[in-house]
Amino acid sequence: MAQRLLSGRERSRVVLADRDRPLGFPAVEATAIIAVAGLVTTTACALGVPFIQGRLAAQRERAMRLRDERLVVYTDAMFYMRAIQGRLDETVEDPDLQRSYTWPETPHQDLTTARLHLIAPEEVMRRWDELIHAWEVMTWNMEQDGPVNERGQYHASEDQADVKRVRRAIEGLTVALREAAGAEARASQPLR
């Protein structure tokens, strides 16, 4: 093949034309490159977005289910605590003036304890354990002293250390449950 020698003017045109081309690529128009990039991006989005949305929806669903379970166990703990508080109030009343209260059935203490151990924050669990321990010590001490009247009623004074310990435990658990429930409510609010 015969190659023709280029004149100086023709050589400068070729050099200028070669500068505009990317190195290592054949001369391809920019619109073709943009079109291919657009197709690749569209395909990736069409395939990836539903997958990502499904994963995010599943994570949100699990978080909402856990939040609901926590709120149920917080409510059970609060209900049990209120029953203890009512029984405590009953025992510090004058035994001759005590009325017979009928308390609603509460969730079992061991079941509530187990559920709290599984899903409650450490502070709530610690406060729950303090309340249960304080209540058990107080009721054991009262049983050791025996009933104070012929009707089999027990009596305790607000000045007794056991009563004070139970009252402090009730206050501590109330604060911990409110904070935990508030944190759950704040966490479940949609972002703005």
Kindly indicate the confidence band of residue 8, based on its pLDDT and cuts at 50, 70 and 90: low
Angle between helices 30-92 and 109-119 (to 10 degrees): 150
Question: Which string of DSSP letters, residue by residue, matches 127-158?
Answer: HHHHHHHHHHHHHHHHHHH--SSTT------T
What pLDDT shows up at residue 20? Answer: 53
| pLDDT > 60? residue 2 | no
- Structural domain includes residue 59: no
- Structural domain includes residue 23: no
What pLDDT shows up at residue 128? Answer: 96
Domain count, the chain: 1
Q: Which residues of 156-182 are buried (b: 16+ CB within 10 A; e: fewer)?
A: beeeeebbebbeebbebbbebbeebbe
The residues near 168 (Cβ < 8 Å, ≥ 6 apart) are 134
Instruction: Name the more confident of 89 and 4.
Output: 89
> How many beta carbons lie within 10 A of that of residue 111, not counting itself?
12
As a whole number of Å, the end-to-end CA separation of the chain is 72
Domain that holds residue 72: 66-187
The per-residue pLDDT for range 22-63, each reduced to its tens digit, is 555 555 566 777 777 777 777 777 766 676 777 777 888 888
- Structural domain includes residue 46: no
The residues near 179 (Cβ < 8 Å, ≥ 6 apart) are 123
The per-residue pLDDT for range 131-187, each reduced to its tens digit, is 999 999 998 988 887 666 666 677 778 888 999 999 999 999 999 999 998 887 777
The per-residue pLDDT for range 75-87, each reduced to its tens digit, is 999 999 999 998 8
What pLDDT shows up at residue 19? Answer: 53
